[in-house]
Structures are given as C-alpha cells and as structure tokens.
Structure 1
Amino acid sequence: MAAAPRPSVRIPVSTYRLQFNSRFTFKDSRAIVDYLHALGISDCYASSYLKAVPGSPHGYDVADPTRLNPDLGTPDDYWAWIGELNAHAMGHVLDLVPNHMGIAKSANPWWLDVLENGPSSRFARFFDIEWHPVKDELADKVLIPILGDQYGAVLERQELQLAYRDGAFVVRCLDDVLPIAPDTYGEVLGLELDAWLAHQARAAGDRDAEELQSIITAAEHLPPRSSRDPDDIAIRAREKEVVKRRLNALVERSADVRALIDSTVRRFNGVAGQPRSFDPLDRLLNEQSYRLAHWRVASEEINYRRFFDVNQLAALRMEDPAVFEEVHRFVFELVQRGAATGLRVDHVDGLYAPGDYLERLQARAAGLLHSDAQRPLFIVVEKILGAGEQLPPEWPVHGTTGYEFAAVVNNVFVDHRNERALDDIYMRFVRERRERLSFDDLAYRCKKLILHETMSGDINSLGHQLNRFSERNRHFRDFTLYSLISTIKEIIACFPVYRTYVTPDQPVSSHDRRYIGEAVAAAKRRAPRVTSVVFDFVERLLLKQTAITSTDECDARASFIGKFQQMTGPVAAKGLEDTALYVYNRLLSLNEVGADPTRFGLSPGDVHAWMADRQRRWPLALSATSTHDTKRGEDVRARLNVISEIPGAWKAAVTRWRSVNRRHTTDVRGAQAPDRNEEYLLYQTLIGAWPFDGDVVALRERLRAFMMKSLREAKVHTSWLSPDEEYEQAVFRFIDAILDRRQPNRFMQAFLPFQARIAELGIYNSLAQLLIKITAPGVPDFYQGTELWDLTFVDPDNRRPVDYETRRRMLAELTVCTQTEAATRLLEHRTDGRVKMFATARALGVRAAMRDVFEQGAYVPLQTAGARRDCLFAFARRGAGATAITCVPRLIASLVPDGSGPPIGPAVWSETRIELPDANGTSVFTDVFTGATIDTQQVAGVTTLPAAAVFERFPIALLTGDS
C-alpha cells in the first residue's frame, strides 16, 4: 500500500544557527536542545556536518558528502542529537553545500581519484575541469597550486617525497599525499628492476620476480588516462585496484620486493645538493595527470573552477544528474528519515542552472516524503539581492537566508537627514576628493582588481571559449582574443547584480535583459577604447540574439552564457564584499553582505512598503540580523547607527582622537601606518565593539586579528597575495599604543565617555531591531549566542565558542520573575545582556502562540503622530480574531540627548501616539514584556495608542489583543 501524502510542510517558527566544528560537536548540540526549546526556538539551523577537511572550523569544505564528519562525533552521537530534537518537537535545517568540495589535505577521495586517473576517472565529470586549457602543458592535467615556492626549488629541497603505501605509490607534499598513477608504476620500479632481477635470478627468486613483472605489465596495460570511453573508465577503475592488491600482497610476503621498493624510493627522492639526482622524480611527476605548481600560479593558469578564488575548494558540476544524485545521496537519506526537516542551499548563484537544481531538489524531496505539496521541503537559498532585485518567483523555495532583511531593518535606525554631513566628515578625515569616494567607482575598481589579480586565469579561459564561438561565424571572427577578454572583464566589472539566470530553453526575462543592458552600457562608458561592436556582440550573445546555424553552435552559446553567469557572482563577491567594503568606511554599519553602503537610511514608509511586499512574496524567508557571514555583529551595527544621528559630536570626537594619536603612527616607506582611512575604520570598530566590561586585553588580540584581515582584504597596503608584515606590525603597534592603560592615556580619556553614550543608545537600537525581526514577515533567525549582546567581528571572530552554561543559568533565572519585575530589573542591569534574552524569549513565545497571525496575517503599517513621531516605528500583524502590534523607538539620540537612560515615560514621549486606522474591535491591548494593559484613545476621531503609555516601563512593546 502506498504511503499517504503528507498534509503539510514543516515551517520553522524560528531558527537558531549552530556552527559545528571540533569545539562544538553533536554531543554539545544535544546538551543545549532543552535550553533552545525554553528560549523559544523551534528549529536548529546547522552548519554543514558532512565529512569535511580535517580540522575545518566551518564545514564548508566538505570532502565526502556521503558520511558524517568524524570531527563532530560518531553516528550514534548524531542520532542522539536528532532524537533530542524530536523529543522537544523541534526541527532541523541543514546547510547544504552543492557548489563545491574541499580538496585540501588529500581528504577528498573523489578528487584523489581524478588526480590518479585524469579524464578517465569516474569522478572527472564531477568537477568543473578544463582538460584542454590555454596552456598546452596542462592538456589532460589538473593544475595543483599547493607549493610554497617554485616547483624546481621545492623538488630539490626534498619537499616532494615519493613513498610507498599499501600497494600504491604516492608523493608527499606537506599536508597533501597525492597519488601516483598505477600505469606509471613501471617507471618507478624500473629504476632498479634490471639489477634486482639479475640478483633474483642468481638467488633463485623466480616466483616473486615473475609476479612483480606481471604486475608491472598489468599496470602498463591499463586503459589510458585520456580515455573518456565508459567501458575504459570502468575497466581502469577495476583493474588498477587489482594491481594495488597484488603489489601489496607481494610486498607483504617478500622481503626482497620490499627491499627493492625501499631502495627505489630512496633513489627517487634524490640527494640534497645534487640537482641531477632529482631527475627521475621530476620525470615521474611530469607523467601524472596533475601539474604541481607554486600557489601564485593559480591566478593565471588555474584550470578547474573554484569557489570564488579559493584553490582548496573545487567547484562541482551539479548540472550533471549523476553528480546531483551522488552528492545528495546521504542528505536525501537524512531527509527521508526525518533528521533534516529543511535545507539551506549555500551560494546558489554558483550553480550552472540554479532553478533546475532547486526543481530537482524539491522533486526528490516530494518522492522521499510522499508529499504532493508544491514545495514539500522547507528550503531557503543564500542569495544576495541587488538594489531592486527580486528572488526569481518561479524558484520552488521559501525565500532567502535574509541578508536583504538585515539591510532593511538596519536602515530603520540610520538618520538619512545626515548623509551629507557624514560624507563631509569622512571626506575631510581621509583627505580625499568627493569623486574619489564614489562607491560605484570604487566597486568597479575593486572588481577590476580581482579580475586582474586572482581570477585572470578564469577570465582568460572564458575569453578563449568566447573566441572559439566567434570563430564559427564570419561576422565575428575578426574580433581579437584580447578585445574579447577585455570586453568580458569590463562587462563583469559593471554588472549591477550578482548574476542573471538565462537558460537555453526559456526566453530571456525582462529583468535579466535590463541587467545585461545596464552592464554593457556602463562598460562602454568606462572603456571607450574598446570598440563598441565587440560589446554589442557579447550583449547579443548573452541575450541569445546571435544567429545559430547548428546544434553545436547552440550548445556552444549556451555553455558560454552558463559559464559567464557563474563568473559574475564570484567577481562581485570578492570585489564588493571582500574588497570594497573594507575600503569604503563612511559608516561601517552599512557595510554588510547583501547591503548597499550608499543607501543611507530608509523612511518608515519605505520600510513598510518593503515589509508588505515581503509578506506577499516570501512570507517564510528567514529574517536574519547576524549570520556567520556578517561583517560585524548585530549589536555592533546597532551602536554604529547612532553616529548617523550625531554628526557634530562625531566630527569633534574623531578630530580630537586623530590629533591625540598622531604620534603613534609610523612612517613605512613614505606611507603613514595606519593611513587615515584605516584609522577611521579603527575608531568606528572600537565604538561598536568595545566590551561592556572594558576587558581591553581580550579586545586587543581580537582587534589585531580583525585589523589584519581588514587590511589584507582592502588590498591597499597589504594583501593575502602580497602581505606587507612591516606595515601590519606598524598598525598593531598603533593599536597597542592607543589601548595602553598602564599610564595616563589622553585618547582613552576622550574616547570612553563618548563610547559609553553610544553604547547606551545602541542597546535600545538593538532591542528594537530584535523585536522587528521576531514580528515582521519572515521566520526569525538567530545566530549562535546572539540572545545576549553580540559585539563580534567578522569571521573567524564570530565562530568563537559560545558560553551556553551562562546562558542556561540566565534563562532559568528569568523564569522565576514576574513580568513587571523582570522588565524593570533587567533594564537596570541592561549591560549584562539578560534584557535581550528576556525580550527574545517573551516575543518568541507570543510568535509561537499566535503563529497563524505572524505567518499568514496581514502586515499593517501604522502611522505615528505628535512631536516625536519620527522617532517611532510601528506596525500591526492582524489575523482572524487576533492582532499583535510592534512598537519600537528609532533615532533615539534626540529622545535622550545625554544618553543617560532608556527612552521611556511621558517626559520622553509627551503626546506622541500610534494611530490605529482599524482597531479591529480591540480597545485594550496587553504588553507582553511588562504585562501592562493599555487603553486606546480617540484623538480627532482616530483610534490611537499613547506612546507614553506604550513605553511607560520598557523601551520596546509588543501588544496583543483579541477582537
């Protein structure tokens, strides 16, 4: 009897992101399930826990997707965690990494098979490898850029060592152990074979000698590594293992054969100081299906697609159905068994055909879950949306992971009226002309830098692919290779979004047509020396408007478009997120993944419109404010937003700090370290991340690590490719000097009072954005540990262990207090973070109790009136028979100018009120934080709620009422 279709999809009420690694295991996660349940979390949202490269701190370098990561515990540990979730009726969203695999430390068996067997590996189709690249020497080979120096120097320093292991020969290089192709075993063993055979003949060792010769013959007759024939691939896969088993058995029983191999290996590994002694190993390595190279070679000659520019992450060809099935086999088992009740798809834009992939994912889920739902499995995608961009509505997902939500909510607390003032302050501090501070120009320059420095090999490969296509048509064949590559670079550098989604079988959408047109038009303006006709050709090609005369030509066009679309995202990510956002330091709270740093605040009306649209389109997308990818913690941003309200005070402060600290800068080859832009970054960072307990020692070490990453990502004075340690050390000395509290410190004397004011106001921004997250359209998502104050930096700082014992104790203490006592007492001790935990638990409880209202109910913008109306943001969620109203303060600096206390009470709010256009029959509301009841009032015929009553004892309010 067939299983009955499941009636519904499990949708989380809230999610809590757990970062698994060796310091936080399956046992650790099981131990906190009851705590998360008590906090109000419905679903654990876990980083990938499939087998990763050993020691991985994040899990995004999956090396074997068919099993659990042993660094995290045993399968029994895993299922015990899942059992604990089930016991608390909690779900689990798994982070799925379909775009790439980790290949470092020889931990990936599929990749090693490719290195051993080349194109004839059954896993060759899994990876996006160009087997016939521009460089002839790489034909049927994979570039392996893992060496720390030039190949010849590394070889002759004996850092490449041949070794024998269990019937196979390998070459060791630091953390990597690379296979030697079995068909070249004869070259290894042949070095001393004749002499050994002569000795064996004298010693009457014929049987072992014959077996060894037979093994060599079998190895040499394996199907060639260049063959793509399925039968050859199957024969080679089978017979090479037979060769290894026979050799292993022979070595185990024959001391003479073992001695031959030991002697041969020693000969291959050469003699220090005798360069010619390394010739045999050099010849052997040149016969392999890989080419070892210095890591710097990758930027120009890499011939496998990577995750961005990370050599240790090899991209997968997920468009191949066989690859899809093998990579997801274990994940599908977890879905079928109910262990994973949802999926987060990492870097969906890296896939060749994201829409097709997501369709296949949901189709497989439907079969596994016996569901007839259109979207049977809760799936969200990591997708960065550009200005005005929408998630493709045809994708069978529930939304994004919420980067755009974080950006919109953050802008609620940025005062747009002071944008010009902050521009002027920044411009004067860093001493740059206004036109040099254009973010659009900076983004273009940074993308061009990435295209030149770290991804030129990828672009050259794409250019040659375009060149081959142009040669097919007499109208295009005169375009030179250089002009085609230059055109591609310019268009990618000007691309307004991360990528388009043009497919071979569907018409080009209007928005994709617009994005391509905008990119080409901008590229023409920025590169007038490139002939316009080449731009027109590429534009027509991307829009599928070129004439096609054969199936091969159609396939070639589709292939180029697909590869082009896979390239624009990585360039945008590396150019914008990982370069420009570390250079453009006007207001750091705006420099976030998925945010536009030029969007300086949003009006309440704009935010309401965005929220209402989200409720219509993607009501179940995640609502995030901190993630493992954010550049700084949510409460750091909340503090920094205060700067937008007080430009005059900020200007006076940074000017004084600069004057006081000038003596601590260092001249490094004519440049001041830190430069003025870096100093501006540092002061904002200190304002945002200064700990409530004032522990400078811990902060100093974290700050050093953050600044080193920031400097290298900015690529101005130092970089990951070309680190300038002298410059970096000068910046570290500056940090140490300005934080030195062993003696009177004029900077600290000026900084601490100002920072204390910002931190106080930041608390209320933090609580306000928290409540919006929990009650706005979408599924509220919490990054680990952020139920208390989150003053973290970018990763790896935000992956530090979380103290759950302290959090568990705090939550337990909250449950024994009455609402009024808790709200009042926690506000008095607000710096310890318990007030944030209290607000989280109370609001999540209401969201769970009124689930239908928050998931399906209307989003109703509420207008404000009175003297402080601009300092108030409010909306209602309304469902059948119930209403919930969210009220939060914004632009708080004007409410409490001295920053000495919370924005509560009549003295702050006066006659300010929230207007209820339709109270839905409700005249009395209850505040879930204080338990207070608040009566509506009629003012000029309009039903209102007085802000002074709403915020009488607590700075945020969630009001509930029944009709």
Structure 2
Amino acid sequence: MDQHLPQARIPSATYRLQFNAGFTFADAERIVGYLHDLGVSDVYASSYVAAKEGSVHGYDVVNQTIFNKELGDEQSHQAFVDELSRHDMGHILDFVPNHMCIESGDNVWWMDVLENGMSSLYAHFFDIDWEPVKKELTGKVLLPLLGDQYGRVLEGGGLQLIFRDGAFFVQCNALQIPVEPRSYLLILQHRLDALKEKLPPEAGPLQELLSIETALQHLPLHTERDSEKMNERHREKEIIKKRLAQLCFDSAEVAEFVSENVMIFNGTKGDANSFDLLDRLLRDQVYRLSYWRVATEEINYRRFFDINALAAIRMEDQTVYDLTHTLLFRLIREGKVTGVRIDHVDGLYDPVTYLQHLQKSAWMNLRERSEGAPPEEGAEAIREEWARQYDEVLERDPGCKPFYTVVEKILMKGELLPEQWPVCGTTGYEFLNSVNGIFVASDVAKQFDRIYDRFVKRGSDFTEIVYEKKKLVMQVSLSGEVNMLAHQLNNIAEEDRLTRDFTLNSLARAISEVIACFPVYRTYANSASVRDRDVQYIDAAVSKAKRRNPAISGSVFDFLRDVLLLRSPERASEESRRDWLYFAMRFQQITGPVMAKGLEDTAFYVYHRLISLNDVGGMPGRFGTTLEAFHGQNLERYKNFPHAMIATATHDSKRGEDVRTRIDALSEIPALWQKQVARWSRLNKRRGSLIENARVPELNEEYLLYQTLIGAWPVGDVDDAGYEAFRGRIREYMIKALREAKVNTSWVSPNGPYEEAVVGFVDAILARAPDNEFLREFLPLQRRLSRCGFFSSLSQTLLKMTSPGIPDFYQGTELIEFTLVDPDNRRQVDYGRRIDALAELKRREQEEGAPRLLSELLEREDERAKLFLIYRVLNYRREHKDVFDGGEYLPLEAKGARARHLCAFARKAGGRMVIVAAARLVATLMPEDGGSPLGEAVWQDTMLLLPEGVGGRFRNVVNDAVIDVVSLDGQSVLPLAALFGEVSVALLESE
C-alpha cells in the first residue's frame, strides 16, 4: 500500500442494526458494550439519513444530507459514535445512492420539481423522461398517487386546493403537492371583478394584487432550461409568495377573496360541473395525477423496481453525487464512519464509475482527516495534488481499496463481481445460500421432485417458472419500462436502411424475451467495449430467446444482440454510437428489477419443493450444495474477496436462518415426509373451502404452509397469548406469500374472499382443540426436526465465523430466532434479554467451566447455546485476527462411515493453524426419539484427516475440551467420536 494511501479498517465481525423511531441512536449507544463483549468489531447500521416519517427501514430516503430526526440529533449520534470509539469499534453505514422517496413533503428536491418542472434546479436530479412515448406527458411527470380513476377522485372531493404561506398546494392523501406558480393566475383572476367592486381602484391591496399578477405573468415558464432564466424563476417565485402572504395578512378583503376562491375551486360533491375549475388548474400543472395502476404502462420516471413511491436519482450526474454524499463524506472525514455498504448497486447507471469515485472521495476525506484541512488559500491546488497521487497509486495497483466498501449485489451461479470494481466484496447473499445448501441432502433431489409433483398434482420446472414470472412482471408491473426501451431501439433501427423495417412490436417482443431469458441480474458495459463475461451472458440470453420464439425473425434478435454488444456498423456516426451505448446501459438498468421481481418476489412464492432453498441470492432449482462446491466458493472468496461480508440472515431474507435449518432437515427423511404431508392433507381436507368449485387453499399453498409451520414453530410450552401471536404471524405470512405469488391474489388486485378462506384454513388447522388430530400428528415430527435444526444452526454459525470473509450477524440472531420474511424479521429486538443472557453465561462459564455449561445448554436445546458459541468464537477471532483475516484456507476430508456428515477445513497464517469442524445432515445421525449427534455410537470409526505434519494435542475453543491427535496408517487424524463427544462443533487450536 502506498504511503499516501490510508489503510482501510477491516472488520473482524459485523452486527447489523435496523434504525427507526423504535430503535434510535441512544438505543444503539446502550448496547455497544454488549456487542463488544459478544466479540463484534463493527456496527453495521441501516441507513439513518432523513427518511419518510415513520419509516421502519430507512430506505425511503428524503434527504441524504441530514440525519433522520426520528433517530436523534447530532449530539445523540456523537454519543453513539463516542461509545463505539471507547470500545475501539468501527461503524459501517448503509448508503442508498439509487433512489429517494417522493411521497413526502420533506423531499424538497422532488417538491421543487413538481412546482417548477423542467425549470427546477433539481430537475436533473431525478431520472425523468420529459419527452416520453405518451405525448400528452411531454414536459410533465406522471404522479400515480390516486386510489381510483382521476375523475372519480376529483369529483369525490379527494383532491383539495389549499393556500398557506402565500402558496397554493393540492392536498392528495397526506401529501401537499405544490401548484405551479404561473397557474396561480387561474385562482387569483377568478372573480376578480367582485374584489374590484369591494375596493376602490387606487386601494393599496388591490394594486398589490394586480402587481403580483403582473409578476406571475412575467415569470419564466416551467419548461425554461436556460440557467439564467431558471435562476430568475426560482428567485422571483419566492418573492411573489412572500408578497402574497404579506398581502393576505395585511388585507382581510384579499384574504377572504383568496379563501372563497379556494372553496369554489374545491367544488361541491354531487355537482360534477363544480369541479371544472380545479380540473383545469390541475391540467396546467407540471405533473399529471393518475390512478396508481396507470404507472405500469405510462410511468415516465425510473423507479426502484416497481415501487411508485421511490424515484431513481441520477447518481451519474456530478452535482447529484456531490450533494447526496455531503453527510457521508463528512462522517468519513470525522472518523465516525469507517466503512460503507452500497445499497442496490445494480440500479445505478454506471456502477463501476460510481464505485471508483466513491473510493477516491473517501480517500480524499481520509487524507484530510490525517493531515488536516488544507488552508483556504491554495486548498484547491492541494486537493488536486492529492487526487493526482491517488490516480498514480491506482495506476500501479488497480485493486487498491483505501476504504472498506461492500455492495448489495446478487451473484448467480458462476458469476463473479466485475474485476474493475474497487470493493471488498458483497454483503454475503451467496454465502448464505452456499452454507445453507450443505445442510440439504443434495442426493435426494429427484425424490423431492416426485414428492412435490405428486402432492401438488402437476410437474414443476423451476427454470420455466422463472421465465414465465419474469414475463408476467414485465406485463403487469414494468411494461412502461420495456415500452420505453422498445421505442429507443426503434429509433436506432430507423437510422440504418438494413434495420429500418423492424417493427416496433417485433422489437418490443424481442426485448421482453431476451430479458426473460437473461441468466444474471445485469451486465456492465459503460464504454465502447464489453466484458467477455457480459458477452457470454448476452449471447446465452439471445440464443435462448431465439429458440423459444421461432415465430419471431431471428434477425430481430441478432440486431438486439449487436446493439447490446455495441457492435455498431463501421459507417455509424459518433452520435449513433452514443445512442447504442445509451440503449445498452438503459437495458442493463431494467434487467435487474425484472429478475428481482420475477425471481425473488414471484417465483420464490410459487415453487415450494423445499422452501429453505428459496432465499435471496439462491436458485431453488439446485437442490443444496455439495461440500466440494462449498469449499470451492470459500477458496474463490479467499483468493479474490477475502474481506467480503458473509451472512446467514439479512433484513431481506425470506425466512430466518434458524427456520431454514429445520426445513433443511426434511431433505434427509423424504419417505417419512411424503407419508406425513399426505396424511396431514387428508386430515385437513374438510377444513378447506370451495370458491368457484376450486379448492382453497390450493395444494401448492398448503405444501408451503406445512413447511412454514415446521420451520417457524415456537420452542417449548407457549401460553395462549404467545400461541395466538404465533398464529397471527402465520396468517400475515401466508397473505404476503399469496400476494407475492400472484396466482390467486396479488398486491395489485387483492382477492378478499380467497385470502379470508386461506386465513380460515390456517386458524382451523392450528386450533388448540382436543379433536385436532393434525396437531397431534404434526408436533412429534416438528419437534424432531426442531432438534435437528438446532444442531445445524450451531454448525452453520461456526462455519460463518471461520470461513473466508467477514461474518455478519443480523440483529437478534445471536439467539435462536424463528422469524419469517419482513416485516416479521424487522420487529424490535429485546436487547435486555440478550444482555442478561450473555452476562449469565459469562458468570456460569467462570463458575462451572465451559464444558459443563455448554453440555447443559445443548441437552436442553437452549437458545443461549448459539449465543455462547458466538461469544467464544468471535472473541477468539478478534484476538487472532491474522488467521481469519487473510489466513490460508485448506479444505479437510473425513474417512469412515459418517464422513459425509462432516464439514471441515483449516485456516493458516504464519506459524498458526486452526481447524474447524462441524456436523451436518444430522437428522440421519440422531435417533428418531430425540437424542443428539454426539458420541461414539453416532460417529463410529469416522476420522478427520489432518494436514501433513500436524500432530500433538488440540483445544476446542468452543468448550475448552482437549483432544489428542492419533496416527492411522501413517496419517494424523482426529477421531470424531472423541471430537464430537460433548459438542458437535469444534474450533481447534494447537496446544
């Protein structure tokens, strides 16, 4: 690392905190000491810049330059940071560069756009198409805020004109939308003769009102783009508002006149003609209010996926970049933020350029922190020299990363992060699926295919489902975006005589089909060249689309491929080449949302072969992960991104990590599962309903429900209140799952009777009644799988803490938790219980010793066993950071009857080596009546084979147990019967 380049702080372990009004900076400050005791090195905070009032997640940002006031102020934030500093802990902040919430008056930039249109000083901040396909929207923004057709809402009094502080607004739901200032004339000139009759011509208030009207008439238009005119409009409109406010304050007659006009404009229910004035006023605005369903086809601002309330911002614009990062870079400069997580990086127009700018900006601020701010005189020259030095270092070492940065990015099978990205890795979705997959018996995939297909009475091909659901999403949610692309491609086709005969319809279909066949979320062309990997992805998608659509001329697909690969004709002009690149980059921004909505938010709720595989970043069509694949991915990460985050749960997970391990265990008992699920369905058949001669719930939905109950069922005895809370969570989950599936109901068109019938089925099968035979048969199997899941959760947790990468813990998951998809997994965490639990464990550890304490916790299936494991291993990891930070990764093998049930590897750095061993696939190791995967009867003759030259004695960091290395046929081995005599996980250091 160059001497001028600051060293990035590399975390040892991170802990994700979800900030909102219920968990503030002060709350975070209070638990810092607990997290430090647990072994966490860095707090990983959700976005805490200003968000929409009441936000529970912080992603609906309204202003990136200030703190969210619901979380605290500068002082409380400082106290939180000071507490981190006292414990030598870092702070990683989640930053949202892609979008902002536009359904809040606190988003002053968007409100300015709605008031001033193209002439707004912030018009270039948002990704708005001012010349869309629908010509009626030229120069306007579609606002799909209405719950019904525009005319019905208007005549129903749902839109109201209001006047405050010298300005007019339209009240729409809870939002007050500014009125374009020049259109004030429609209001102020209405019934003006009546006011003139009240006031003499020379009266000061009347003269002032007429002067205000003249000023409004001379105000530059909202379509003005000349910078001087824009500034004039911005300045003069504010002066006019102040004059009008003062006039109404000074003159009761004018105030009454304005108030009466507002009342007249607001019309009278039952009198349709009385709304003509307000309708005319609304037609003159720079926005068009519409029914929210209109957004599907006519939206002309880019959104976050299909969420109308979240409008994309143009981070590729330097002004936008500079302003939106003001607070972030200040916090970096002040040492209050030591790392950053970039949300939804695939939404950006040019991710690589953004990330390169981010590292450079962070380095400049870190340089200023270490050397002090340059003196005012000559500051610009000094910063230019710093930038030059950074560029020199970057040229010598293109992979240098002076600031810890990870990106939220989903990698598909075989996909790697682009090599040019200056990041430490992703936030860990790929590890989540990889590690979860080794607890699935991958060799029974075909059996589970048969079980699933027979139960639901149809065949299920996951690849086909994803294809169909991506097409569905493009039809019902994102057709406007696809149509926009089609028109852009049509304009390109028109430029060349060899392509001008391609019809708009054929181009639109080709685009839709290629996106539906796209194998990854997006590609990353941003210049005249395209990465080799991206060429492969585009070629594969076009080839598949061709095969699926023989009725569409292959030449249309070939043309689309050429444009995406930037293979423009030699005779093409520079302007034409720029058009091709612009289309390719826009195409890249759309494939990601289609994949996310089609795969994660639809297909995952339709395909239920084994739902523990249906998580973000996963492909449920693959039945688990082999040990070879798991080790291969760990080696790849060690080689390329050793400091990437590795997670087992996130705020976006479809179900909690401890829910998944219970469901994973089903894969080990296919025959029993088939028998039981068929039996349960017969028992519960009478509890279903018939709607239009169709069974409710459908068999596919019923199959999802049984797996969900196995995974989420609470441990131990639950009182009536707790049981009812659990049943309520299952009801809410099923409604969300049904709507996401978009088969029998949806968010767009909720099917009330169907949803009520499913909720009734849930209530009936979960009734605590003596005659509920289902529960009597369900609970024994659930308890067995629960114990399997308990031991698998410990193994999964150990593997996360010791594999290459930075282990990340989602809030609350240090105890066994059976959460489902959000909002269930975003409930407030009881930190008092966790603080008390850790204190009690530490006390008992001192008094009783780790072996006895842990054995008792395992025997009782105590949720605190996971907490104790994390505490022991993370503190060890922090003390021996070099081994895990960049230590070599060596997969280890086992030999013997139970060899397939072990995952093991070594980490080595310098002269130190540690060995990690964890039991897996424990359902077939454990007796049906309970028991545990421990001892000689379970592990028999199985041995862990050690690296050459390793011998002596080892201590298990988890419980302090000591085990001797033995020799078998000249090979150093550890007998698993001894290693797993008391606990099924081991982190071994040499004695």
Query: Would the TM-score normalized by the shorter structure come out above 0.5?
Result: yes
Q: Which residue does 2:934 correspond to in 1?
A: 904
Q: Which moved more, 1:593-602 or 1:558-567?
A: 593-602
User: Which of the residues 353, 359, 363 maps onto 1:362?
Assistant: 359
Q: Which residue does 1:265 correspond to in 2?
A: 262
Q: Which residue does 1:937 correspond to in 2?
A: 966
Q: CA deviation at 1:919?
A: 4.1
Q: Which residue does 2:763 correspond to in 1?
A: 736
Measured in 2, the distance between the counterparts of 1:899 and 1:769 equals 23
Q: Which residue does 2:401 correspond to in 1?
A: 375
User: Which of the residues 947, 950, 969 maps onto 1:917?
Assistant: 947
User: Which of the residues 771, 774, 790 maps onto 2:801?
Assistant: 774
Structure 1 residues 850-897: Cα deviation after superposition (integer angstroms, max 9, x where no partner):
100101110011110011111111000011121111110111122113
Q: Which residue does 2:420 correspond to in 1?
A: 394
Q: CA deviation at 1:393?
A: 1.5
Measured in 1, the distance between the counterparts of 2:790 and 2:600 equals 27
User: Which of the residues 760, 774, 794 maps onto 1:747?
Assistant: 774
Q: CA deviation at 1:531?
A: 1.1
Q: Which residue does 2:503 correspond to in 1?
A: 480
User: Which of the residues 706, 717, 720 maps onto 1:683?
Assistant: 706
Q: Which moved more, 1:845-854 or 1:922-931?
A: 922-931
Q: Which residue does 1:821 correspond to in 2?
A: 852
Q: Which moved more, 1:639-648 or 1:271-280?
A: 271-280
- Residue correspondence of structure 1 range 499-518 to structure 2 within 5 A: 499-505=522-528, 507-518=529-540
Is the CA contact 2:627–2:903 (under 8 Å) kept in the aligned structure 1? yes
Measured in 1, the distance between the counterparts of 2:147 and 2:958 equals 58
Q: Which residue does 2:198 correspond to in 1?
A: 199
| Alignment RMSD | 1.3
**Alignment pair present for 1:446 and 2:445:** no
The letter for the 1-side match of 2:763 is: D
Q: Which residue does 1:496 correspond to in 2?
A: 519
User: Which of the residues 248, 254, 274 maps onto 1:277?
Assistant: 274
Measured in 1, the distance between the counterparts of 2:918 and 2:196 equals 87
The letter for the 2-side match of 1:517 is: D
Q: CA deviation at 1:503?
A: 1.5
Measured in 2, the distance between the counterparts of 1:499 and 1:696 equals 44
Structure 1 residues 143-167: Cα deviation after superposition (integer angstroms, max 9, x where no partner):
0001111111111111110010111
Measured in 2, the distance between the counterparts of 1:525 and 1:802 equals 51
Q: Which residue does 1:212 correspond to in 2?
A: 209
User: Which of the residues 901, 904, 912 maps onto 1:874?
Assistant: 904
**Alignment pair present for 1:951 and 2:980:** yes
Q: Which residue does 1:231 correspond to in 2?
A: 228
Is the CA contact 2:6–2:366 (under 8 Å) kept in the aligned structure 1? no
**Alignment pair present for 1:521 and 2:511:** no
Q: Secondary structure at the match of 1:626?
A: coil
Measured in 2, the distance between the counterparts of 1:891 and 1:829 equals 20
Q: Secondary structure at the match of 2:336?
A: coil
Q: Which residue does 2:744 correspond to in 1?
A: 717
Q: CA deviation at 1:122?
A: 1.0
Is the CA contact 2:428–2:647 (under 8 Å) kept in the aligned structure 1? yes
Is the CA contact 1:761–1:899 (under 8 Å) kept in the aligned structure 2? no
Q: Which moved more, 1:247-256 or 1:165-174?
A: 247-256
Measured in 2, the distance between the counterparts of 1:552 and 1:220 equals 39
Q: Secondary structure at the match of 1:379?
A: strand
- Residue correspondence of structure 1 range 524-563 to structure 2 within 5 A: 524-547=546-569, 549-563=572-586
Measured in 2, the distance between the counterparts of 1:720 and 1:107 equals 27
User: Which of the residues 848, 856, 867 maps onto 2:886?
Assistant: 856
The letter for the 2-side match of 1:825 is: E
Q: Which residue does 2:448 correspond to in 1?
A: 422
Q: Which residue does 2:383 correspond to in 1?
A: none
Structure 1 residues 639-669: Cα deviation after superposition (integer angstroms, max 9, x where no partner):
1110111001101110110010000110111
Q: Secondary structure at the match of 1:71?
A: coil
Measured in 2, the distance between the counterparts of 1:538 and 1:114 equals 35
Q: CA deviation at 1:5?
A: 4.0
Q: Which residue does 1:187 correspond to in 2?
A: 186
Measured in 1, the distance between the counterparts of 2:270 and 2:962 equals 87
Identity across the alignment (%):
50
User: Which of the residues 609, 626, 630 maps onto 2:653?
Assistant: 630
Moved over 6 A (4+): none
Is the CA contact 1:760–1:899 (under 8 Å) kept in the aligned structure 2? no
Q: CA deviation at 1:347?
A: 0.6
Q: CA deviation at 1:903?
A: 1.1
Measured in 1, the distance between the counterparts of 2:915 and 2:699 equals 45
Q: Which residue does 2:373 correspond to in 1?
A: none
The letter for the 1-side match of 2:134 is: K
Q: CA deviation at 1:229?
A: 1.5
- Residue correspondence of structure 1 range 72-471 to structure 2 within 5 A: 72-201=71-200, 206-370=203-367, 374-433=400-459, 437-471=460-494
**Alignment pair present for 1:801 and 2:828:** yes
Measured in 2, the distance between the counterparts of 1:286 and 1:633 equals 49
Q: Which residue does 2:913 correspond to in 1?
A: 883
- Residue correspondence of structure 1 range 583-602 to structure 2 within 5 A: 583-602=606-625
Measured in 1, the distance between the counterparts of 2:983 and 2:509 equals 59
TM-score, length of structure 2 as denominator length: 0.95
The letter for the 2-side match of 1:526 is: R
Is the CA contact 2:546–2:554 (under 8 Å) kept in the aligned structure 1? yes
Measured in 2, the distance between the counterparts of 1:700 and 1:944 equals 49
**Alignment pair present for 1:651 and 2:674:** yes
Q: Secondary structure at the match of 1:887?
A: strand
Q: CA deviation at 1:253?
A: 1.7
Q: CA deviation at 1:107?
A: 2.9
**Alignment pair present for 1:844 and 2:874:** yes
Q: CA deviation at 1:4?
A: 8.3
Q: Which moved more, 1:796-805 or 1:370-379?
A: 370-379
Measured in 2, the distance between the counterparts of 1:897 and 1:609 equals 32
Is the CA contact 1:106–1:175 (under 8 Å) kept in the aligned structure 2? no
The letter for the 1-side match of 2:99 is: H
Measured in 1, the distance between the counterparts of 2:618 and 2:560 equals 29
Structure 1 residues 356-409: Cα deviation after superposition (integer angstroms, max 9, x where no partner):
000000010110001868211110000000110001121000000000001110
Gaps of 5+ in 2: 371-389, 394-399
The letter for the 1-side match of 2:880 is: M
Q: Which moved more, 1:515-524 or 1:548-557?
A: 548-557
Q: Secondary structure at the match of 1:104?
A: coil
Is the CA contact 2:568–2:577 (under 8 Å) kept in the aligned structure 1? no
Is the CA contact 2:112–2:120 (under 8 Å) kept in the aligned structure 1? yes
